Chain A
Amino acid sequence: MKSVRCVDLCKTYRQGDLEVTGLDHVDLEINEGGFVCLSAPSGGGKTTLLNAIGGLDTPDSGEIYLAGDRIDNLSKGELAEMRLHQIGFVFQAYNLIPVLTARENVEFVMEVQGVAAASRRKRSLELLEEVGLGGLGDRLPAQMSGGQQQRVAVARAIASRPALVLADEPTANLDSQTSDQLMELFVELNEHHKTTFVIATHDQRVMAYARRVIHMLDGRIVDDERRDEA
């Protein structure tokens, strides 16, 4: 079963007076449980592809399937519902809600999903424990290090038990040691929960963890390097 399938994706956008090609006839298939890195220099199209797969941005043409369901023709509301239940996002800048504690940040998504208060409290504490932040649930983001905040973001991303986690430069603001810890966490989650990870990065250290690295340039896939993955 394919977790992600993109067929002939094209996307252009304007940057000032310039028309930039974000995606140029991209075809891509990612298996369930995959651990894939999208590698490209800045402006190479990796974030555009990640946004398209996550339903945050719509392609100009082409088709996108998640777990076999086409998503590029869904309404905004349907896409939001899909993101809420099927996809977890991890961003470069952590992007936690600053006025909520670590536990509340994780719980918030579950509350939106309609999970009962007792269940979401229990699960948020378990998730924080799983990402190595047991006992820090009552801290506000400002009271945590960058690495800790990114771990909270990971806990938030997997709170809804998504089949797919999309991470955009997740280690860009972290030191090398913290980056390694985060990537080890991703690998662990991938192996234990069979969650598919698609990580946009240009960090070689991050790519070293991937079982497949897709290289992009100017919106095109120029190389598909498969390591352990079929």
Chain B
Amino acid sequence: MNITFRLAWRNLWRRKRRTWLTVGAMVFSNILLVFMISLQLGMYEMMIVNALKAQTGHLQVQAPGYKDDFKIRQVVPNAKQLADDLRQGLATEEVAVRAAAFALISSGDRSYGAQITGVEPARESLVSSLPGLVTEGGFLSDPMAEEIVIGSVLARNLRVGVGDELTFIGSGRDGSFAAAVVDVVGIFESGVPDMDRGFAQVPLGFFQDAFAMGDAGHAVVVMAPGLLQVGATQARVEALLPADADLVVHDWDALLPGLKQAIQADFVSAWFMYGILIILVAFSVLNTQLMSVLERTKEFGIVMSLGVTPGRLGRLVLLETALMGIVGMVLGVLLGGGLVLWLHFNGFTYPGLEEMGGKFNLPGRIYPTVSVLGLLTGPLIVLAASVVASFYPALRLRWMEPVAAMRAA
């Protein structure tokens, strides 16, 4: 260890109380940042996973334009065959066909508009969490059965329960009148009000008959092994599509732009607050180092008279700050990491979380993510901001004259 390093380290502890106060501010902000960023990342991951599981999946093969203009005629032809090909090509079972239409669903004298989705009963649970959210009755089982699963709010509005009959009326792919009578076999509760109020699922085969779809669907849903593999899986799906097929592959980001926007908006507002916290810490460091430099004016003058340049002394001040920042970072990451680790297994909640979480199909408890990104991003920025803050006291040394400095009290 060279003497400059030893000098910087020992200088830090000349005023133990002041150094510990500054390090304490760093540790506190680092714990807060580690906790908040890990919580944010955990929440975002849950939001994405839950929203994708309940709605879009990671990827969908669709007809061009269907994503933006939900027309029943914009179909994926021979959808089940395409799904089989993708299952084989991707070596995964997590591929399923869906078709969707809007219809008026009636029971007695009550009628409500809803989106009816035709799904493959045996495969839907592989790409969606909805079958698992059925709280009354069961999920669809027979691909051709005249059955329906509806959201809990829609069931309440229509005043129907499991075993009751419903009628739906809509428009078929060929413009024909699509109508059928179906039995309610299940009621789901997703926690997402819009889904519970206006969403229903029927078997794909029955849907194709009722809406004159033939063998077509509107989307082939594909799940990637994980969020990070979505891009690679998308490329593979695109490669597996028939060369002459007029189809496109959308990832979840394109299918659910609102989700990413919500995450980005939350991210920006959170970082605005983190920024204020980091600036406060930086000012605390600035104050400490400025005091420290002013106190040592005479000593700096002496050292300069020995031939040490102001630049070297400035680097000494920066080194002192960096060492202080590293102590704050290590303690902050250890304590913050411990807290995050505990919450990762036990979960975290606060008043209003359940209500807010419901909008994104989130549970009432959040489990922070333990990741290098979550643990180090905040503390590294605090460290960098602290070093930047001490540039001013370091630069002051450039204007210091040895003789004047040595005369300082």
Contacts and interface: CB of A to CB of B under 8 A. Distances in A.
B258 interface: no
Nearest to B308: A112
Contact of B402 (A56, A77, A97, A100): A56
Contacts of A84: 306-308
B63 to A, nearest CB: 72
Contacts of B406: 91
A89 B309 contact: no
A81 B307 contact: yes
A77 B4 CA distance: 20
Interface residues of B, number: 24
Contact of A89 (B7, B10, B305, B312): B305
A99 B292 CA distance: 14
Given A104-B6, A117-B2, A83 B11 contact: no
B293 to A, nearest CB: 15
Contacts of A95: 298-299, 302
A160 B308 CA distance: 13
Contacts of B394: none
B303 interface: yes
Contacts of B3: 100, 104, 107-108, 111
A174 interface: no
Interface string A168-193: 00000000000000000000000000
Interface in B1-27: 2-4, 6-7, 10-11, 14
Interface in B390-407: 401-403, 406
Residue from A56, A85, A87 having most chain B Cβ neighbours under 10 A? A56
Contact of A99 (B7, B306, B307, B310): B7
Contacts of A54: 305
B304 interface: yes
Instruction: Give the size range of A's interface with the partner.
Output: 20 to 34
A89 B307 CA distance: 10
Contacts of B304: 80
Nearest to B11: A99
A107 B402 CA distance: 21
A109 interface: yes
Given A111-B3, A111-B4, A97 B303 contact: yes
B6 A85 contact: no
B6 A112 contact: no
A156 interface: yes
B306 to A, nearest CB: 5
Given A111-B3, A111-B4, A100 B10 contact: yes
Contacts of A98: 14, 299
Interface of B: 2-4, 6-7, 10-11, 14, 298-299, 302-310, 312, 401-403, 406
Interface of A: 51, 54, 56-57, 76-77, 80-85, 87, 89, 91, 95, 97-100, 104, 107-109, 111-112, 117, 156, 160
Listed from nearest, the 8 A-B pairs whose CB atoms lie closest are A84-B307, A99-B10, A83-B307, A95-B302, A80-B309, A56-B402, A57-B403, A111-B3
